[in-house]
A and B are shown apart, each in its own frame.
Chain A
Amino acid sequence: MRNKIVFVLGALAAGILCWQLYNILLVLPNEKDQGAIYRIVYFHVPAIFTGFMGFFVALGASGAYLATRNLKYDAFAAAVTEVSLAFATIVLATGMIWGRIIWGIWWTWDARLTTMLVCWLIYAGYLMLRRAIDEPTQRARLSAVVSIFGCTDILIVWKSIEWWRTQHPAPVLSVRDGGGMAPGMEGPIYWNWLALMCLAAVLVIIRMRQENMSREIDSLRRLAHSY
Chain B
Amino acid sequence: MGHYLGSTFTIAAKDLRSEFRTKEALNASFAFSVVILVLFSFAFDPSSEQLQTISGGLLWLVFSFAGALILNRSFARELQNDCLDALISSPAPAGAIFLGKTVANFVLLMIVELASLAVFALFYESHFGVQLLPIALVIALGTWGITVIGTLFSALTVNLRMREMMLPTLVYPLLIPALMAAMTLTTDLMNGTPIGKENGIWLRVLAGFDFIYSILAVVFIDVVLVG
A152-169 interface mask toward B, CB cutoff 8 Å, 1 = contact, 0 = none?
A: 110011011101000000
Mask, B140-156, CB within 8 Å of A = 1, is 00000000010010001
Please tell me if the beta carbons of A160 and B160 are within 8 angstroms of each other in the complex.
no
Q: Is the CB of B201 within 8 A of A149?
A: no
- B220:A156 contact, CB within 8 angstroms: no
CB of B179, distance to nearest CB on chain A (Å): 11
Flag if A148 contacts B173 (CB, 8 Å).
no
Contact between chains at B166 and A128 (CB < 8 Å)? yes
Contact partner of A118 (CB less than 8 A), chosen from B157, B159, B173, B213, is: B173
Q: From residue B172, how far is it (CB to closest CB) to chain A in Å? A: 8
Q: Which of B152, B161, B208 contacts A132 (CB 8 A)?
A: B161
SS class, residues of chain A in contact with chain B: helix
Contact (Cβ within 8 A) A160 B205: yes
A-B contact count (CB 8 A): 66
List CB contacts (< 8 Å) of A109-153 with chain B: 118, 121-122, 125, 128-129, 132-133, 137-138, 141-142, 144-146, 148-150, 152-153
Across the two chains, which residue of chain A brings its CB closest to B159?
Answer: A138
Do the beta carbons of B166 and A132 come within 8 Å of each other?
yes
Whole-angstrom CA separation of A149 from B159 in the bound complex: 19
Q: Counting CB contacts under 8 A, is A14 at the interface?
A: no
A153 contact from B159, B166, B177, Cβ within 8 A? B177
Residue B216 at the chain A interface, CB threshold 8 Å: yes
Instruction: Determine if A205 is an interface residue (Cβ-Cβ < 8 Å).
Output: no
* B interface residue numbers (CB < 8 A to A): 149, 152, 156-157, 159-162, 166, 169-170, 173-174, 176-177, 180-181, 201, 205, 208-209, 212-213, 216, 220, 223-224, 227
